Structure 1
Amino acid sequence: MVMEKIDGSVLKKAIINAAFILRQNKKIVDALNVFPVPDGDTGTNMSLTMDQAVKELEKISSNNLKKIADAAAWGSLMGARGNSGVILSQLFRGFAQGIPIHKYSITPMELAAAYKSGVDAAYRAVMRPVEGTILTVARETADRMIFEAKRNNNFETILQNTLIYGEKVLEKTPEMLKALKEAKVVDAGGKGLLFLLKGFYEAIKNPNIDLDFSSSEQNLQTINEEMHHNKELGQEIKYMYCTELFITGKEIDIESIKSELSNLGDSMIVIGMDELVKIHIHTNNPDKVLSCSLKWGELSKIKIDNMKIQHREIINGSNEDDRENYIEHLEDFKISKKNIGVIAVSQGKGLNEIFKSMGADIIEGGQSMNPSTEDILSTVEKNSSDNIIILPNNKNIILTAEQTKSLSNKNIYVIPTKSIPQGISALLAFNPELSVEENILNMKRNIKNVVSGEVTYAVRDTEWNGNKIKKGDILGIKDGDLLITGKEKEEVIFKLVALMTEGRQDGIITIYYGADIDDYSIQKTVEILAKKYKDFDIEYYFGGQNLYYYIVSVE
């Protein structure tokens, strides 16, 4: 049977199956990562991004194509992790924008055009697109799908030929990127995208395919705004009703909604896209909020809670110690309220405490688990400040942090810190008495003065800079470049510090030691370094990070 059109139920099933096939093969994608360090790998990041898309799709009962595409776009946007996840979310966002409104079925050409719209959106999201990556595979397969759709109307044939062509494009990626060629692998993101296309094709080929996909398997976090709002509850509540809802429509003007709702209450959050917007506000007139929202489209997931009742339950339903802790936290919250907030991505008990002691809020994550857009946005919205400075502290988190700018009504500034030492150095330059512009200038200037180093281990066999690396080898990384390979942690850190201090007569060497390093080992290491670098001040702190034995900074 030739399938010439697909409806919403088939599209939904195809996206869910695409996510399922990617999940099954994410380790294959992870193994293609060129950099052999423990990190938020491409397959894992893309799979977690798709899990969130599936989570949103599971909430949709309608077969309206636009609503299904919007749900997948919203879920992938909120779940986006790492650069590959952000690019994938933009593919879905553009795809949703390219789906015709008020249609219950689409032709192959309409699907191909929507896919092409997604590719264009993904390219726009990346400041300096690099060929030989997921972007190349996406662009080439979109063009091929359009080419195939002009020749016939059979969805199965079009997708099959597109997939075959995509495999050929993927095989050429090592010729486009030197690092891929040296490591003898194809691009991981491109491979992940082809797994998604394969899953999509299989569902189109067999519309009755039995799906067994449980997004609950993943520990997906959601924005728990009410925890933040409970902190704000004082002895007297000005606005009684916590009102939340979604608007689904066309060309929704977020700024107009903000303007109209601004006089109806406080703690207002209006985020989303042109076709799907979420509203949260504390108000005494939820009816007016609903009336305003109805102008822009269909309302769903309406939730109106009486905060006076919630507040009474918190105070009366807890014991004396709980009430004292509640009031103490409330006072801490009031005291900490300032115009500029700083949020840092960090992982490890010691590192978290260091960032907190310097005035930053913490997003748990880093090398081994990149936080999602939703994780970052949640922390942004919980912060009481109007101006937020984010320190990603990892190059694979910068793009995700940048993505939150369009999702919040706060002023968000991302300092492109690529390491923990850069993040700490940036925080040292922060002064809450200065303007946000002055702080950003000072913080960016400060990160240029620090050299970052890391000691970890290889998670796979590979080849890098002409050197063969075996799984389990100890690696020394300076400012993102893998420069040292050895068998012992101490051997590597000594060589790494030598490279980091090259050309310097004096300065400060700071070591943050991980969870796998005991007190004796770090003291012995510091003692040896102190004898060799007598003109340097050497400091060491417990970082508590996993997987990375040492994080080093030289200033």
Structure 2
Amino acid sequence: MAVEKIDGALFRKALIHSSRILKRNKKVVDSLNVYPVPDGDTGTNMSLTVEQAVEEARKVKGDNLKRIVDAAAWGSLMGARGNSGVILSQLFRGFAAGVPAGKDWINAQELAVAFKKGVDEAYRAVLRPVEGTILTVAREAADKLLAEAKRSKDIVENLEKMLDHARKVLDKTPEMLSILKEAGVVDAGGKGLIFLLEGFLQALKNPALIEEDETGESADPVEQGTVRADIRELEYIYCTELIVEGREIDIDALKSQVMPLGDSLLITGMNNVVKLHIHTNHPGEVLERALKWGELSKIKVDNMKLQHEEFVRSSPQQEDDKVKDTTIVAVVSGEGLKEIFKSMGTDAIIEGGQTMNPSTENILSVVNEQKSPNIIILPNNKNIILTAEQVKKLSDKNVYVVPTRSIPQGISALLAHNPLLSVEENVNNMSEALKNVITGEVTFAARDSRWNGTDIKEGDILGIVDGELIAIGTDRSEVLRELIYKMASKRDSGVLTIYCGEAVSLEEAEEVGNEVSEKYPDIEVEVYKGDQSLYYYIVSLE
């Protein structure tokens, strides 16, 4: 069946079906992680990102295409998790920008142009784009769709040819990236994109088979929730969210009208639909002022005081009410590591790390909770840095991201922080400090693989130094020794710190630490309980 245009109703159904297809196959995408370590979460991150796009698209009343794609773009931005999720959100954002205002439907040419704009936006979001990734697959798919749209008005036919081409490009990604070839996998993000495009095409070809379930599919439990540390006293009790729908909404005027009513204000949208978020003591007044601009929907008012009473009781009290100039927010997982970060000056903790990448919205909500005008974010994971960078564009505060790729780098950054210096000086010093630390990790293989000519079996113990796999064994203490000796070969003096995961004891690590002290007398060894999951040991040398 030929399809020559896509209206809002069909786009929403196709988006919902695409999300379902990716969700069903997310473990397939997760399994394509280059390292066979248990943090291959590309599929999960992409799926959670699209699910939030679907959630926002469902909220739009009526079938106006432009409003639906804009809502989906906003949802994907707020739900973006990990590098793959951020890139995907930029694809949505550019696509939405490519759909002209007031459009109820788009044809084959307009669809191709919008998709191409999405790809351009995604490339702009990445500082150093690498070929052989989701970006390559998306770009090649967009170029093919543009070419086909010049020859045919049939969107289904064009998408079929585009998908065929995209699959071939995906199969070639190992030739573009040697790391993929060695691991025997194609690019995970590219594979996730293929699943989304397949779902979209299926919906266009068989719309009767994918009637929208009004109750929606229940999402998997999301472990990426945030934990707010150091919450002492809430000035504003009610977290208020709503949608305003009207004509010619002046966003700046609305913002100025509700701003005096609270803090953590976030207003985004267009002149006909706006999403508003604010912390206030007078939610009724917020609703009254918003009502002047149009109809209200999706009203949500949460009592944060009740939600966080336990945190307030268990958190240390401030000696005075002076607002700090700068607040440090860190992404950390593991009770022991959380306590270490708090003791070193971290003001707010976001639960997350390996396999638990917080979303843009998770980080943004914590940032907006802080009273300080300046916020420094420590992502502490290479897959969270890009998500944190998105928050800089969305918050009214001065947000700085120190690109910490690991827990040891985060701790090194904290050591370099001096509250007597300006925020700019501190960000510079903290970023420079990252060069002084060597990071080691001991974990297990989540699947069979092959690396540097060596066969890896599921369950093998792996030692990784600054992202390089250097040890494979069956005994975690032996792998820890080998990993530390490799680190010491790069720097035979300094402070070596071992953070034990939840599955191992301090005694086990201390035994290895004593051996290291004897072998390298110029290295001071410290052992702490980090309680992190998945990684038996995290090691730093600086």
TM-score by length of 1: 0.88
- Answer whether contact 2:231 2:311 (CA < 8 A) is retained: no
Pairing 1:198-277 to 2, within 5 Å after superposition: 198-210=198-210, 211=212, 214-220=216-222, 231-233=233-235, 244-247=241-244, 258=255, 262=259, 264-272=260-268, 276-277=274-275
> What is residue 351 of structure 1 aligned with on the other side?
337
The verdict on how the C-alpha distance between 1:284 and 1:453 changes in structure 2, with shifts beyond 3 A counting, is closer
- The structural deviation recorded for 1:498 is 1.2
Q: Is the 8 A contact 1:392 1:418 kept in 2?
A: yes
1:106 aligns with 2:106: yes
C-alpha distance in 2 between matches for 1:325 and 1:421: 26
> Which segment drifts farther, 450-459 or 220-229?
220-229
Question: Is residue 454 from structure 1 mapped to residue 441 from structure 2 by the alignment?
Answer: yes
Match of 2:181 in 1: 181
AA matched with 1:479? D
Closer, same or farther: CA 450–336 of 1 in aligned 2, 3 Å: farther
The C-alpha deviation readout for 1:280-310, integer Å capped at 9, x for no partner, is 2637797688668966xx5543759799xx9
User: Matches of residues 33-48 of structure 1 in structure 2 within 5 Å?
Assistant: 33-48=33-48
Q: Structure 1 residues 299 and 414 mapped into 2: Cα distance closer, same or farther (>3 Å)?
A: farther
- What is the CA-CA distance between 1:216 and the residue it aligns to? 2.7
Pick from 467, 476, 498: which aligns with 2:463?
A: 476
1:535 deviation in Å? 2.0
Partner of 1:374: 361
Paired residues of 2:32 and 2:185 also in contact (CA < 8 A): yes
Let me know the Cα RMSD of the aligned residues.
3.3
Provide the identity percentage. 53
For 1:488 and 1:251, how far apart are their aligned partners in 2? 66
Give how far 1:258 is off: 4.6
Q: Secondary structure at the match of 2:414?
A: helix
- Sort the Cα spacing of 1:111 and 1:430 in 2 relative to 1 into closer, same or farther, 3 A: same
Contact 1:54 1:215 in 2 (8 A): no
Go from structure 1 to structure 2 and tell me whether the alpha carbon gap of 1:257 and 1:389 turns closer, same or farther (over 3 Å shift). Answer: farther
- What is the distance in 1 between the residues matched to 2:292 and 2:231? 25
1:71 maps to 71
Between 1:148-157 and 1:200-209, the stretch displaced more is 148-157
**1:154–1:353 CA distance, 2 compared to 1 (3 A):** same
Contact 1:83–1:396 under 8 Å retained in 2: yes
- Mapping of 1:77-476 within 5 angstroms? 77-210=77-210, 211=212, 214-220=216-222, 231-233=233-235, 244-247=241-244, 258=255, 262=259, 264-272=260-268, 276-280=274-278, 282=280, 300-301=296-297, 303=299, 332=318, 335=321, 337-360=323-346, 361-476=348-463
Give the whole-Å Cα distance in 2 for the aligned partners of 1:140 and 1:249: 39
Q: What SS does the aligned partner of 2:102 have?
A: coil
2:506 touches 2:527 (CA, 8 Å); kept in 1? no
The corresponding residue for 1:30 is 30
Once the 2 structures are TM-superposed, how far is the Cα of residue 93 of structure 1 from its aligned partner? Answer: 0.9
SS of 2:489 mapped into structure 1: coil
How far 1:539 moved relative to its partner? Answer: 0.4
User: 2-side partners of 1:456 and 1:540: how far apart?
Assistant: 17
Cα displacement (A) at 1:125 = 0.5
> Could you tell me whether the CA contact under 8 Å between 1:119 and 1:135 is conserved in 2?
yes
Change (3 A) 1:340 1:523: same
| Contact 1:245-1:299 at 8 Å conserved across structures | no
- Residue 305 and residue 16 in structure 1: after superposition, are their counterparts in 2 closer, same or farther (change >3 A)? closer
Q: Tell me the SS of whatever aligns to 1:448.
A: helix
Q: Deviations over 1:289-333 (max 9, x none)?
A: 8668966xx5543759799xx98xx7xxx9xxx999968969549
* Closer/same/farther in 2, CA of residues 250 and 195 from structure 1, 3 Å limit: farther
For the pair 1:504 / 2:501, whether they are aligned, the reply is: no
CA shift, 1:396, in A, is 0.7
Displacement of 1:178 after TM fit?
1.1
Cα distance, 1:350–1:224 mapped onto 2, change above 3 Å: closer
SS of residue in 1 equivalent to 2:61: coil
Kindly state the Cα deviation for residue 519 of structure 1 after the two structures are TM-superposed. 3.5
SS at 2:420 equivalent:
coil
**Separation in structure 2 between the aligned mates of residue 243 and residue 36 of structure 1, nearest angstrom:** 43
**Residue 441 to residue 79, structure 1, CA distance change in 2 (3 Å):** same
- Residue 512 of structure 1 aligns to a residue whose secondary structure is strand
* Distance verdict in 2 for CA 1:268–1:518, change over 3 Å: closer
- AA in 2 matched with 1:516: A
- Cα deviation per residue 1:492-518 (whole Å; 9 max; x = unaligned)? 111111111125342111100111112
Which secondary structure state, in structure 2, belongs to the residue aligned with residue 18 of structure 1? helix
Which shifted more, 84-93 or 172-181? 172-181
Give the structure-2-normalised TM-score.
0.90
Q: What SS does structure 1 have at the residue aligned with 2:218?
A: helix
Task: Classify 1:13/1:32 alpha carbon distance in 2 versus 1 (closer, same or farther; 3 Å).
Answer: same
Counterpart selection for 1:525 from 512, 528, 531: 512
> Which amino acid in the other structure matches residue 181 of structure 1?
K
Is the CA contact 2:232–2:315 (under 8 Å) kept in the aligned structure 1? no
* Cα distance between partner residues in 1 of 2:257 and 2:461: 58
For 1:227 and 1:394, locate their aligned partners in 2 and report how far apart those are by CA, in whole Å: 19
Larger CA deviation: 373-382 vs 345-354: 373-382
Moved more, 426-435 or 83-92: 426-435
List gaps (5 residues or longer) in structure 2.
none
In 2: Cα distance, 1:482 partner to 1:224 partner: 31
Deviations 1:249-268 (A, max 9, x none): 89988667655654x33314
In 1, the alpha carbon distance for the partners of 2:525 and 2:488 equals: 12
SS in 2 for 1:359: coil
Task: Compute the displacement of 1:129 (Å).
Answer: 0.7
Q: 1:327 to 1:530 in 2, by over 3 A?
A: closer
CA distance 1:268–1:233, shift in 2 (3 Å): closer
Pair 1:486 & 2:476 matched: no
Aligned residues: 537
**1:523 to partner: Cα distance:** 2.6
Farther-moved stretch of structure 1 (216-225 vs 468-477)? 216-225
Query: Cα–Cα, structure 1 residues 545 and 4, in superposed 2: closer, same or farther, change >3 Å?
Result: same
